[in-house]
Amino acid sequence: MEIPYTVEERPDTGINNVRLGIWLFLASEVMLFGGLFSTYVLLRVGATEWPLGASLLNVPIGTFNTIVLIGSSVTMVMAHSSLKLSDFNKYKLYMGATILLALTFLCVKGYEYWEKIESAHLPADSTYLAIYWTMTGLHGIHIIGGVIVNAYLWGPGSGMWRTKREQFENRVEAAGLYWHFVDLVWIFLFPVLYLL
Amino acid sequence: MSGSLEETKKHIADYKKVAATLAVLTVLTVAVSYLDVTVPLAILIALVIATTKGSLVASVFMHLIGERSRTVHWTLALTALFWVVLMFIPLLGQADHIGVPKTLSNANAPAAHGDEAH
């Protein structure tokens, strides 16, 4: 059965279902992370003491990871542009770079977690650490999800380029929108948790 | 979004400029955090920079700047409205205590004198 409006625009919404679907999903994600940011504000405003993020976390490592994630957003958007220019080899290169940068981010984050566990800075230790582990953990799960989707689109899923080009381009665009959103969340998480 | 080759090439030039700007703003965020300013001012500066970076990602990388679909506009406007409400909820909770030095309990806080007595 052919799924309708995967490429062509729906007359009532003005966009195809892929883009409508990903934007609705991202809207729900905004509310998910918004709830946690709201919780952070509630806990921080009500706390008698709040540690400076830099006193517990490694700021240079956090800065490095921020640059890595921004870099992956750039390679992701370049991967999509390469498809628009019909340059499949460059697409593979940029998408591969996106996956590698995402894995770098996860490895660095894993090292940070290991450091925290070694020094017994666990969620139960303080409200700050509880919100740090929750927010960065949820963000990390989103990164893992993005890596799985991007790896599929880089590997087995890329065969669609030969048969249904427009549909494949749409899939990469949707994955890209998700990836930029994950980057956007980190842009706010970094100063809130590491610097303030 | 337009699919023309010329426009795509123009977009690529924009992506490179935005990438450089985001890198500079990230370094700036860290540099500003070392300034000796009050906590409210530090929070304000950090959030202004983060919002600028977020806007660049959303408008250029996510192509919201050229988005013509009213469905997407309305979805995002509604999301933004609910997000603002979410951010105001903690402030409303604090409004009851304005001028009163009473705070919520926190794991970081030292034990209250009353607790030690028991």
Q: What pLDDT digit, counting tens, does each position of B48-105 carry? A: 999 999 999 999 999 998 888 889 999 999 999 998 888 888 777 767 666 665 555 5
Q: What pLDDT digit, counting tens, does each position of A11-60 carry? A: 888 889 999 999 999 999 999 999 999 999 888 887 888 888 888 999 99
Instruction: Round to whole Å and give the CA distance between A31 and A142.
Output: 15
Tell me which of A108 and B98 has the higher pLDDT: A108
Q: CB–CB of A37/B87 below 8 Å?
A: yes
Region A98-127 average pLDDT: 95
| Chain A nearest-CA residue for B112 | A48
Q: What is the dihedral of CA A177, A185, B21, A68, to 10 degrees?
A: -90
Least CB–CB distance from A15: residue in B46, B72, B106: B72
Going by pLDDT thresholds of 50, 70 and 90, the confidence category of residue B113 is low
Nearest to A88 by CA among A153, A177, A7: A153
Q: Around Cβ A179, how many Cβ atoms within 10 Å?
A: 27
User: Whole-model pTM?
Assistant: 0.89
pLDDT at residue B116, rounded to an integer: 44
Per DSSP, the residues of B29-54 read HHHHHTS---HHHHHHHHHHHHHHHH
Least CB–CB distance from B50: residue in A20, A49, A187: A187
CB pairs under 8 A between A and B: 155
Structure tokens at A121: 């800075």
- Residue-averaged pLDDT of chain A: 94
